[in-house]
Structure 1
Amino acid sequence: MSTSGHPEIRNVTQPRRVSVLRGKSATLNCTFNYIANESDWVHIKWYISSPGIADVHYGTSKHTCIPDIAPGGFKHCATSLKIENVSFTISDYNYTCVVVIPVYPPVESRGPGTRLHVDVPPSPPAISITQEKLVAMNESSLHCLARGFYPQNISIKWLHQDQTISHNAQSSKANDNTKYTIMLPPSRNSDGTFSITSQMTFIPISQDHGTICTCQVLHTTSNERIIKHITLNVNYGPQPIIHYRTSDSDKLCPLLQCTINVMPQSFLELNCTADSNPAPSVTWEKKSRGQRIQLYSGKSNLGYTKASIDDSDSGEYICRAFNDYGLKEHAVVIYITSGWKSSFLLRSVSVPIFVVSVILLLIWSSKWKDRYGPCNCRHSKRHENQGSSVKSDRVEDADAHEDKITEF
């Protein structure tokens, strides 16, 4: 008993706030001290209130006490109220613990009340595309929607191929190399939860097809991000590429020029491949007298093979690839060169022989001039005259010698 002999209640305490996830159980604690006769008993009542709603009796709870632990003979007691499967509709309600000793007049003391805060994690985000389809080189947007969360504090992060996309507070026109995100204002749902959308704007290219975009949502109810992936399906037109080989034992090589020279009766294979989404239709055509003649048609990868080339196969061949997003052509001209290899070898041999022949002819001509030219003719005559004079001198000497002998 108090000094006045009446029951007394002191120090009714409660936590100011308790947070709980929706669907979980919440326990609201209340402690107090009291002193009374042994015949007196204590009631614990709970009242609920919210903005615009006065105290409403919610229920009662049992308590346990430790006798005479407090100064002055007061008992220290504790009680709690457990709420199962907490609904978001009771979030931010105030639960007040009221301790009553039913004597006359009744003794009552109220706690400060506990606000029950119900947190609601966002549902798994959903990613949608603004346009019906992603088309290469056309500005597009992806939307990541997070729904049904409380409180509204939330962050959303975009990644493309594991690279973080920067956030832009102001919308701007994207360019070929720019990706940016915008967080739209949150909206309140009818049940009091929030929803929010983040938008990523970019200009897809053909290389983005099949790559992964990721939306990561982080809410105050968890330290782990909620992740949603989307694989980009980018539509783009075809880019045809021609490969060829001139022997069935060789590998196909990319065509680096617009012409191919082949020998008659030789092998030739042309192959046209075209990358696009969706898969393109491919045709091989040949130009003849100003008109196009379709040779073959197929999908994505189309070959044209001639086991034995003849003159009628020369001309311009066109690979034509097309789908709903574009049409492209790649052309090659086939030249049939009769014996060009042998003629090349012949020229490579005959030219040096011709040069050597000319040099030898010049040398021979020079020697002929030295021997039989006009100057040399005069020189020869002079030698002839000298020779005849020498001969006549010899004859005269012989005659003189013979005269001397006769005289002798």
Structure 2
Amino acid sequence: MHAVSGVYNGPLEEKRIIQMVSKLRMELSGEPTLGFAFSWSGYLDQDPSSLAELSDILTIYGHLQHLVVVGSSGTVGQGIENEGTASFSLLLIHNPNLKCQGVVLSPQMIETLDQKENWYSLFPFDSPEIKGFSVFADPINFPIEKFLKGLTQAYPHVPAWGGLTSGKENECSIYYNRRAVSGCLLLAFAGNIIFDVIVSQACRPIGEPYTITHADQNILYTLGRKTAYQALAKAFDSLTEQERLAVQGHLFIGLAVSEYLEEFKQGDFLIRNILGADPSTGAIAIGALPRVGQTVQYQLRDPHTAIVALQKSLEDEKLKWLSRGKIPSAVLQAICAGRGKTLFGTSSIDAQSIQKFFPGVAQAGFFANGEIGPTCGMNFLHGYSTSIAFLAED
């Protein structure tokens, strides 16, 4: 397997795009099997057909069998993050032994996938052949968490990577093989491929973990013997004076992935937004549907924590590849739109970290409204994280 990547900057000009994709194709050791293009969604403001035309040009001049194009508020290249600027990144993969197939799923179709056999019928591969998935979905109209639960049940321990698009509302920002995608694109990888996915979060637990004792829809009323608000106040009191001054906009809640852990730490939670609080009733509204008996803990988003966590995850991943006697050929990266300059004050921290541990690896990705990746062997939608897929020939 061989992969190459590049970044295009500026207005979309057909001649320049052809030059770029032709150059990358010539750098490959063979004809491209698969391509990923992650494009700034602002191009759609200038021309609503811009992503469709980009998909056509890249497919034709890249000689691509499969091409995914995703619109985003920002793009990721080899050690580079372009936030809110005119650009697209392109990754081309040559692997003649790779089996790849994408399916488009509407929200209504998820209701029909209630049996494993229905999931298996989506692809022309035997279930054990599938090594990983890429998922790109509409952040507004697609039931992503229900979808991921069903996908994990049908394909346990098969990792998924991707995210919710952060493009323009009511404008198509996903294309697969030159066709617009409405809902969700599910891309399966089978055959001779290694597909590893890691997720690194920007939040750390604060205060204590609690068991939910009263909740209704997305409203938390009591955690243990305390109101949800009292528990939040206690978590706030556990912070240093400096942390309290900087806490505005950085407090979240974490829902435990597993109830069977003796001790909860960073990475053991699904991070969700706190939408509102009512001190008079003690209730807290959150961006999730928690259940009674579930463990939760308040979380603090912190740039230092995010950097250290990502470096530790990449360190562990590098050791895994060394034990295989291999190096990854390509990296795909989904970064939360709440990271980047917003979190770190500067750009490219997440993208550069990959090049630090895997220098020279072909890399591309996008800024997402929710990142998809595995935790404890199950695929989830994450927040304020970066999800990274490593690909190589098996």
Q: Choose between structure 1 and 2 for higher RCO, CA contacts under 8 A separated by at least 6 residues.
A: 2
- TM-score between the two structures when normalised by the length of structure 2: 0.18
Larger strand percent: 1
Which protein shows a greater Rg? 1
- TM-score between the two structures when normalised by the length of structure 1: 0.17
